[in-house]
Amino acid sequence: PLLFLAIPSLAAGYFAYESVGLGQWFDGVLVQHADHIVMTADEVAEEGSDAIHFMLHAVSEPFPMVFVVLGVFFAWFLYIKRPELPTQIAEQFSWIHRILLDKYGFDRFNDFFFAGGTRKVGQSLWKTGDVTVIDGVVVNGTANSIGLFARIFRVIQTGYMYHYAFAMIMGLLVLLTWGIWV
């Protein structure tokens, strides 16, 4: 299945080598120190001048190629030739196996620090923002203020016509005063 990903990746790398590959991408960024004995920039540019040379260089280097061949060999040997061997190795080196299964403790650290911290921040935002501000002030505050105004207006509303006329006249005076002064 990975072969179906590898072939288009090689083709995309071949065609995109100049624009996003090592073409002129690092010009001016990587500087060669005068004391270092390395290839000159011209030698590097000539050796890896196009995508074909770059790929051939990757295959022709002995050190990475040895590890690739060793990886394929050990995978074949451990999982096809002797499939019982990985279990025996895991039992014999159980502490290494446990460390590798625990992913060096990074998952536990990430769960505690990042995920746990994010949960705590979210919970505090929920308590202050949602419960206190939205539910407490906006929703329940509106209901409480309606009850408060109802108690106040219940005292004011007497049912007498002259009280309502007086309230309208006072409202007009406030409106006129506001209109004159503002």
Single pTM value for the model: 0.38
Alpha-carbon dihedral sign for residues 82, 88, 94, 96: negative
Alpha-carbon dihedral sign for residues 25, 27, 33, 37: positive
Of 105, 131, 148, which residue constitutes the final position of a domain? 105
Q: How many domains does the chain have?
A: 2
Could you tell me the pLDDT band of residue 175, with boundaries at 50, 70 and 90? very high
**Domain range holding 148?**
106-181
Q: Are residues 50 and 97 in the same domain?
A: yes
For residue 55, which of 25, 22, 20, 32 has the smallest C-alpha distance?
22
Percent pLDDT > 70 in the chain is 80
Q: Are residues 71 and 126 in the same domain?
A: no
Tokens of 80: 């096809």
Is residue 12 over pLDDT 90?
A: no
Is residue 55 over pLDDT 80?
A: no
* The pLDDT value given to residue 80: 96
Percent pLDDT > 90 in the chain is 34
Is residue 31 over pLDDT 70?
A: no
Which amino acid is it at 173? L
Q: Are residues 77 and 88 in the same domain?
A: yes
As a dihedral over the C-alpha atoms of residue 56, residue 59, residue 60, residue 66, rounded to 10 degrees, the angle is: 180
Per-residue pLDDT, averaged over 66-88, amounts to 94
Q: Are residues 58 and 133 in the same domain?
A: no
